[in-house]
Structure 1
């Protein structure tokens, strides 16, 4: 039996008689220092924001309360493709122990809450988050090529569905000028609406919605069509013909804002009444290579590697798939053997539920 056949057989055994379910594992208050081996930053972030933070907890709550994953240091090797394993959290609000998104970075943002997921889309000068100018970016997600996240140890939390909880399925595309971040409600549809297999397709193909500059709003919306699903057919990345993006799902009950800033919001309700004025904070962005992590050890940047570009139009890059899609990130024969042993153990546990 080939290795692929054996892995498939073990996967079937482990799923025997049981639906795949997802439940919250951590809260920010009880997360360990590291949640995955090889993690660059930390999940014990405290509440004091600072621009050298290595916190890897992200929050997705509203148009004025969200975070983005972006590089911890600047420079030509700080592209999303080069730093996908070590990204840190940058947030609009203080109090999470993360870095703050500098005022003026976000020039348009659109938050949508649907029955199945929450999503923020927008544009801005994301070079202020250490992304090099001109970087077409890439995808970040909780799985990666080897089962660890991009970034390793990145956690996403939200209170949009009720009490604050960890959302296990999410996907975040970042470039120097555009961002989109979706996190799915825990349940059987989480992996359907938060796919992570279309990593060269870009924001507007994966998360059709509003990317207008100069507009900031929060809306309710329909879930729309899952990524890559067209009726009874499912598109596979790399096929000769690429279908058009789904139309943006309908939205309603929108509240508009005049701007968003790092902890200070200029809001107006639907009648157009403005609130208090914003203050502007200025930060000198660090250029740290290497960076000292929370344990005091030196963590050097990842070496330059070929990565796929993510065009804003949603057309796949001519350079091919990203490192994640090709599965070449640090994989060795030893890794494969170890994964096989883990799967074998999982199969034995799964069989105990089947018989």
Structure 2
């Protein structure tokens, strides 16, 4: 979801958004992971006196709204009538076999523009200018993150973010060595998640950016990024096959990241991977242990449906401790990606010859490697 002032408003925080323009800063509101009277009171000195009573009333409404969010939302949303129709803007209703991806999952246009990257990603797009918008998350050793193609705050780049990966097998950019300084992968009965500590400036995110949410919904149902697709061979019902997650979210900023990808068959995929609470961050949306210098791969219990005020970390088990040098031996050094404004390499055929027209003849390859942890 968008992180500008106007777009902070989302379900539980809608009434508080009016007070951002009344003096409360973005950062102070974003930091309120548990909205209660004590937390809201800390904002009052930054809000003009004549608005303070209204802010107290807004908090009451927020608490009431959060009780609604406590109810399970049910399974993943229904598929579109034709789930492979790229001209339907509703991203969450699209479903594509991994071996039959379209060049672009979204061929529509809106005030936000068109999809800026592509979904067919292979060896011909494997470089640090790649505009791959197909994200792969298989394991702690093998996952990708959404991040900007050029230096930009998340709130400005959310519609155009691209895949940055830990392995050179997905036709995407590589996360620079040393960028991830702590991470945890957890597989539960309903989803997989990756959380961690990151030097975000190495992924084109300004050091001081508090970040925001990238998700399968977006402000116009086209997703953030527009047309972004997510796949894994390690979802609870994948049985080793590369499978699409249609309900997901990622938060990145303030030198941390978290992302969760729900299995389509999970009974409450929509509630666990809720993507409307974009201002409360990782502690609410993906509660976990964010520890620098620790790399863990675990099994775990499902978290409670995402709601304001619920930050309990689910129990985990069968954890394996690893090191970054063993996990990611192929990452490049340097200070991050190129800040070139070029459009990036277009996918080509397996032989290396560029396909004619806008649709490549190649296919995604290499993304079905087995999890190593």
TM-score (norm 2): 0.62
Query: 1:58 matched to which residue of 2?
Result: 135
Matches within 5 A, 1:86-165: 86-161=160-235, 162=239, 163-165=241-243
Check whether the contact 1:24–1:167 (CA below 8 A) recurs between aligned residues: no
- Structure 2 CA distance for aligned equivalents of residues 204 and 196 of structure 1: 14
Query: 1:34 matched to which residue of 2?
Result: 104
Check whether the contact 2:145–2:165 (CA below 8 A) recurs between aligned residues: yes
Is 2:283 the partner of 1:204? yes
Query: 2:298 matched to which residue of 1?
Result: 219
Select the structure that is richer in helix.
2
Q: Secondary structure at the match of 2:143?
A: strand
Check whether the contact 1:40–1:293 (CA below 8 A) recurs between aligned residues: no
How far is the alpha carbon of 1:206 from its aligned partner? 1.1
Q: Given the alignment, which residue of 341, 344, 349 partners 1:289?
A: 341
Check whether the contact 2:175–2:331 (CA below 8 A) recurs between aligned residues: no
How far is the alpha carbon of 1:126 from its aligned partner? 1.4
Consecutive unaligned residues in structure 2, runs of 5 or more:
1-74, 80-92, 109-113, 348-353, 355-373
Cα offsets for 1:235-289 (capped at 9, x unmatched): 5xxxxxxx3x3210000001110215xxx627xxxxxxxxxxx466325621123
Q: Given the alignment, which residue of 67, 84, 95 partners 1:25?
A: 95
Query: 1:185 matched to which residue of 2?
Result: 263
Select the structure that is richer in strand.
1
Query: 1:253 matched to which residue of 2?
Result: 318
Check whether the contact 1:127–1:176 (CA below 8 A) recurs between aligned residues: no
How far is the alpha carbon of 1:86 from its aligned partner? 0.2
* Number of residue equivalences: 248
Q: Secondary structure at the match of 2:293?
A: coil
- Structure 2 CA distance for aligned equivalents of residues 292 and 280 of structure 1: 20
TM-score (norm 1): 0.65
Check whether the contact 2:212–2:279 (CA below 8 A) recurs between aligned residues: yes
- Structure 2 CA distance for aligned equivalents of residues 95 and 280 of structure 1: 12
Q: Secondary structure at the match of 1:62?
A: coil
How far is the alpha carbon of 1:21 from its aligned partner? 4.2
Cα root mean square deviation, aligned: 2.3
How far is the alpha carbon of 1:26 from its aligned partner? 1.7
